[in-house]
C-alpha cells in the first residue's frame, strides 16, 4: 500500500515509524522546515506509552521527564517532559518531505482520492518567529531559509492520512465534516523557565472550571479557565496580579512563578472541542487532532492521537492491499475508545458547587 501522511508532527511521525516497522515506506509531507517545533512543556499520558514503546523512544522520553502520579512497581499516570525531547527522538532517522503545503487532493472518476498536490511553503511562513503560549520561555523558532526550490509536487497514494491538526485542510478538501463546539470559557496560560517543586498540580474551582500547573526539568507552565473577555482585558491586571492569583488558588505553582517576569509569558486563548462524525472516505482517513480534540483538563488529546496511529498501523498491516478494509477496521477498533470521551468531555457542561449560581469573587478572572 502506497501511503502518504500529511503532517509531520507527533502523531504523523509515530504512525510513520509504526508503518516502517510493519514493512511499509510511507511518505511524510510537512509544511515546515526540518527540525521545526514550538518549544514548550508537554504531558505524555499513559494512552501514548504503548505506541512509543513499540517505536523505541518511550524510555528515552520518560528518562528526560518527570513522572506524574508515580506508582510503586507501575509506570506513572503521565510524564511531564520538554516537548522537544519527544519530537527530536521521533525525528531521528525518519525521512520527510519538508517545506511542502498540500493544496489539493487528486481524485479518480469514481470519487476515490488517489494522491496529493503540493506547493513549496512560502518563505514568509518558514521564517515566522513563534513563542508558544504554554511556554513563552524566552525561546522562539529561529528564522529558517527555505531549502526547497519553489514548485509544484505530486504524490500518488492508495491512502492519504490526515495528521494536519484541528483545522485540517486535508479533512476539508476531502469533504469530511467537523463539529466544532466552542468551550464556554476561555483560558489563560503561563510559561516559566523555572521548574516547580512538583511535576503536576490541578484544582477545580467553584464554577466547575479548573487551574493547573505542569513542570518538567527545564521549566514549567500553568493554565486556568476564565471569562471570555478577550486577551487585552484578561491580561490587563498585569504580571504581579496574575502571579498572586495563581499562587493563591494553586499554591504548588509558587516556585514555578519565580521564572515569570513579563506579560509576554502569558497567553489568552479561546478553545473549541472537535468531533468528526465520519473518519474516512475512500482514499483518505483522519487520525489525531484532525479527527477529534478534547478539552484541556482531560489531558488526553495527544495520547488518544498516538493510540489512533497505533491502531491504523496495525489495521494496515492486517489489510496490506485493501485501504478501505484497513480504514474500516481502524474505525471499528477506535470508535469505542474515542466516542465516550467526546460525549463526556467536562468542557461541554460545567457544574457549580451546590447552591451556587455565580463563581466565588476570589476565583473570578479578570477580577471585578
**Which CATH number is 159's domain given?**
3.50.50.60
Encode pLDDT of 175-231 as tens digits: 999 999 998 899 999 999 999 999 999 999 888 889 999 999 999 999 999 999 999
Lowest mean pLDDT among 17-21, 60-64, 70-74, 113-117: 70-74
CA angle 29, 31, 35 (to 5 degrees): 90
Residue with the larger pLDDT of the pair 40 and 216? 216
- Whether residue 334 has pLDDT greater than 90: yes
Peptide bond into 202 cis (omega under 30): no
Lowest mean pLDDT among 28-32, 273-277, 346-350: 346-350
Q: What is the mean pLDDT of residues 238-261?
A: 96
Q: How many domains does the chain have?
A: 2
pLDDT score of 358: 75
pLDDT score of 144: 53
- Whether residue 155 has pLDDT greater than 70: yes
pLDDT score of 145: 57
The three cell numbers locating residue 338: 474515542
Q: 313 and 282, same structural domain?
A: yes
Q: 337 and 225, same structural domain?
A: no
Q: 160 and 61, same structural domain?
A: yes
Residue with the larger pLDDT of the pair 35 and 269? 269
pLDDT score of 206: 87
Long-range contacts of 146-152 (CB under 8 A, 24+ apart): 146/33, 146/99, 146/120, 146/121, 147/33, 147/34, 147/98, 147/99, 148/98, 148/99, 148/100, 148/120, 148/121, 149/120, 150/120, 151/119, 151/120, 152/117, 152/118, 152/119
Q: 243 and 176, same structural domain?
A: no
Q: 30 and 100, same structural domain?
A: yes
Could you tell me if residue 124 is inside a domain? yes
Question: How sure is the predictor about 86, in pLDDT bands with cuts at 50, 70 and 90?
Answer: very high
Among candidate residues 55, 74, 239, 222, the one with its CA nearest the CA of residue 134: 222
pLDDT score of 309: 98
pLDDT score of 131: 38
Could you tell me if residue 368 is inside a domain? no
pLDDT score of 142: 47
Question: How sure is the predictor about 127, in pLDDT bands with cuts at 50, 70 and 90?
Answer: low
pLDDT score of 360: 86
- Whether residue 134 has pLDDT greater than 80: no
Q: How many residues does the chain have?
A: 368
Among candidate residues 170, 154, 178, 157, the one with its CA nearest the CA of residue 6: 170
Q: 67 and 112, same structural domain?
A: yes
DSSP helix/strand/coil, 261 = coil
Could you tell me if residue 367 is inside a domain? no
Question: How sure is the predictor about 138, in pLDDT bands with cuts at 50, 70 and 90?
Answer: very low
Could you tell me if residue 353 is inside a domain? no
Could you tell me if residue 259 is inside a domain? yes
Q: 312 and 196, same structural domain?
A: no
Could you tell me if residue 366 is inside a domain? no
Of 269, 304, 330, the one marking the end of a domain is: 269
Which domain does 67 fall in, by range? 3-181+272-343
Of 241, 269, 297, the one marking the end of a domain is: 269
Could you tell me if residue 51 is inside a domain? yes
Question: How sure is the predictor about 147, in pLDDT bands with cuts at 50, 70 and 90?
Answer: confident
pLDDT score of 130: 42
As a whole number of angstroms, the distance between CA 278 and CA 329 comes to: 14
As a whole number of angstroms, the distance between CA 138 and CA 83 comes to: 15
Question: How sure is the predictor about 128, in pLDDT bands with cuts at 50, 70 and 90?
Answer: low
Share the mean pLDDT of the chain. Answer: 91
Q: What is the mean pLDDT of residues 279-299?
A: 93
Q: 281 and 215, same structural domain?
A: no
Question: How sure is the predictor about 146, in pLDDT bands with cuts at 50, 70 and 90?
Answer: low
- Whether residue 89 has pLDDT greater than 70: yes
Q: 198 and 173, same structural domain?
A: no
Q: What is the mean pLDDT of residues 271-280?
A: 96
Of 269, 299, 334, the one marking the end of a domain is: 269
Q: 165 and 141, same structural domain?
A: yes
Q: 291 and 254, same structural domain?
A: no
Encode pLDDT of 93-121 as tens digits: 999 999 999 999 999 999 999 999 999 99
Question: How sure is the predictor about 299, in pLDDT bands with cuts at 50, 70 and 90?
Answer: confident
Could you tell me if residue 350 is inside a domain? no
Encode pLDDT of 303-324 as tens digits: 999 999 999 999 999 999 999 9
As a whole number of angstroms, the distance between CA 219 and CA 7 comes to: 27
- Whether residue 162 has pLDDT greater than 50: yes
Q: 325 and 308, same structural domain?
A: yes
Amino acid at each position: 500500500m502506497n501511503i502518504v501522511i500529511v503532517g509531520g508532527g507527533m502523531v504523523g511521525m509515530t504512525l510513520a515509524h509504526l508503518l516502517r516497522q510493519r514493512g511499509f515506506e510511507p511518505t511524510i509531507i510537512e509544511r515546515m522546515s526540518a527540525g521545526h517545533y514550538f518549544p514548550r512543556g508537554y504531558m505524555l499520558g499513559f494512552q501514548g506509552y504503548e505506541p512509543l514503546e513499540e517505536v523505541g523512544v518511550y524510555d528515552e522520553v520518560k528518562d528526560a521527564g518527570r513522572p506524574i502520579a508515580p506508582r510503586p512497581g507501575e509506570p506513572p499516570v503521565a510524564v511531564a517532559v520538554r516537548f522537544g525531547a519527544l519530537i527530536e527522538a521521533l525525528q531521528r532517522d525518519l525521512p520527510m518531505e519538508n517545506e511542502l503545503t498540500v493544496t489539493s487532493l487528486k481524485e479518480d472518476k469514481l470519487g476515490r482520492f488517489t494522491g496529493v498536490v503540493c506547493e513549496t511553503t512560502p518563505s514568509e511562513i518558514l521564517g515566522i518567529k513563534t513563542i508558544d503560549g504554554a511556554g513563552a520561555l524566552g525561546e522562539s523558532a529561529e528564522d529558517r531559509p527555505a531549502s526547497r526550490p519553489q514548485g509544484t509536487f505530486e504524490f500518488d497514494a492508495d491512502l492519504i492520512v490526515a495528521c494536519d491538526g484541528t483545522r485540517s485542510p486535508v479533512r476539508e478538501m476531502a469533504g469530511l465534516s467537523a463539529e466544532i463546539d466552542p468551550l464556554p470559557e476561555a483560558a489563560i496560560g503561563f510559561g516559566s523557565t523555572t521548574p516547580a517543586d512538583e511535576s503536576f498540580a490541578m484544582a477545580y474551582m467553584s464554577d466547575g472550571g479548573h487551574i493547573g500547573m505542569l513542570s518538567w526539568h527545564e521549566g514549567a507552565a500553568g493554565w486556568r479557565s476564565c471569562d471570555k473577555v478577550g486577551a487585552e482585558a484578561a491580561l490587563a491586571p498585569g504580571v504581579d496580579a496574575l502571579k498572586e492569583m495563581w499562587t493563591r488558588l494553586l499554591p504548588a505553582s509558587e516556585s514555578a512563578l519565580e521564572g515569570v517576569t513579563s506579560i509576554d509569558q502569558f497567553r489568552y486563548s479561546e478553545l473549541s472541542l472537535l468531533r468528526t462524525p465520519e473518519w474516512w472516505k475512500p482514499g483518505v482517513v483522519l487520525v489525531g487532532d484532525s479527527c477529534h480534540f478534547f478539552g484541556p483538563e482531560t489531558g488526553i488529546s495527544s495520547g488518544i492521537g498516538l493510540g489512533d496511529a497505533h491502531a491504523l498501523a496495525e489495521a494496515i498491516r492486517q489489510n496490506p492491499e485493501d485501504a478501505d478494509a484497513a480504514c474500516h477496521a481502524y474505525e471499528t477498533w477506535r470508535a469505542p475508545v474515542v466516542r465516550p470521551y467526546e460525549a463526556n468531555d467536562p468542557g461541554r457542561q460545567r457544574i457549580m458547587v451546590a447552591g451556587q449560581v455565580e463563581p466565588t469573587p476570589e476565583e473570578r478572572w479578570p477580577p471585578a
